[in-house]
Amino acid sequence: MLQLKTLRTLSAIDRGSILADPLLRGLLLVPLMVALAVRGLLPLILEQVAALVEVELTWLFAPMAGYIVVTMAPLLAGTVIGFLLLDQRDDRTFLALRVTPLPLGLYLSYRLALPIGIAVLISLVAVALAGGQGLGLGGAWFAALAAAPLAPVTALGLVAFARNKLEGMALMKTLSILLAAPLAGLFMPLAGWSLPLLLLPTFWVAQATWALQAGTNPWGWIAGSWCISGLLLFLLLRRFQRMLLVQDY
C-alpha cells in the first residue's frame, strides 16, 4: 500500500516536472507536428525527388509516412523520461531510494512502463493526424504496440550513456540513423548484408507497420520488436547498474 502511494506521488511529480520544462513539453508535441508535416510535405518532397531522378516514387509515401509517424512518439516519449532519469541520477535520487520502502527495481519498472503508455496514446493521435496511412484504427493500435518498446529502450539508453541533457540531445541526434536505417528495407531484400538490420528494433517496427498496411500477418514482426528491445533493455540495465555502483564511491 505504501509503495502504491509512493508511485502515485512520483506520478504527480513527473507531471509537474514535464509541464514545468518547456523542452520536455515540446518534445511530447513533436510527434503530432511531424505527423502533420509528413501528411502535407512528404508527398511534395517525393514528387520533387521523382522529377529529378525521373523515377516514380509515389509508392513510397504510405510506407515511409506510416513508419515515421508510428516511430516518432515512442522515441520522443522515451527521451522525455530519459531526461527525467538523468536529472534524478544527478540528484542521487537512485541512491536515496535504497533507504525507502520502494525498491529500485519497482521504481525503474514504473519509470520504463510510463513512456510506453504515453507513446501508444500519442502514436494513435499522430496516425489519425497523418491521415491513417492505410492502417485504420486497429492497424494503428498494433503498429503502436510494435513501436512501444522503443520508449523504454530510449529512456534507459539515455541515462546509461549520457552524462547530462546536452549529451542526451547529442546522443539522440547521433542515433537518428536507427530511425532511417530500416527504410533501406524498402529497396532491398532481407538477405546478405541487410541482415544486420535485424539487430535494430526499429527495423521490426517498420516491417510490422508495412505488414499491417499490406494486410498481412504482423505478429512475428511485433514479437521480434519486443524480443530485441527486451535484450537491449537487459544490456542497458546492466550498464546502468554498474554506473550506480561507481556513483556510490
pLDDT digits (tens, 9 = 90+) for 41-71: 887 887 787 777 777 777 777 888 888 889 9
How many CA within 13 A on the CB side of residue 115?
32
Rounded to two decimals, the pTM is 0.84
From 115, 104, 113, select the one nearest 72 (Cα to Cα): 115
Q: For residues 243 and 249, give the distance between their C-alpha atoms in angstroms, rounded to a whole number.
A: 10
- Look at residue 23 in the predicted model and tell me its pLDDT: 67
Predicted confidence at residue 249, as pLDDT, reads: 45
Which residue intervals of 91-192 are DSSP H helices? 93-96, 104-129, 136-147, 150-161, 165-174, 177-180
The answer to whether the CB of 223 falls within 8 A of the CB of 145 is: no
Per the CB < 8 A criterion, the answer to whether 2 and 101 are in contact is yes
Q: What is the pLDDT of residues 198-212, one digit of tens each?
A: 888 898 999 999 999
Are the CB atoms for 119 and 77 separated by under 8 Å? yes
Task: Give the separation between CA 39 and CA 18, rounded to whole angstroms.
Answer: 28
Per-residue pLDDT of the chain (249 residues; tens, 9 = 90+): 555 665 566 666 666 666 666 666 677 788 888 888 888 888 788 778 777 777 777 777 788 888 888 998 898 888 888 888 887 776 666 666 666 666 667 777 777 888 888 888 888 999 888 888 788 888 889 999 999 999 999 988 888 888 777 777 888 877 777 777 787 777 766 665 567 778 888 989 999 999 998 889 899 999 999 999 999 999 998 888 777 666 554
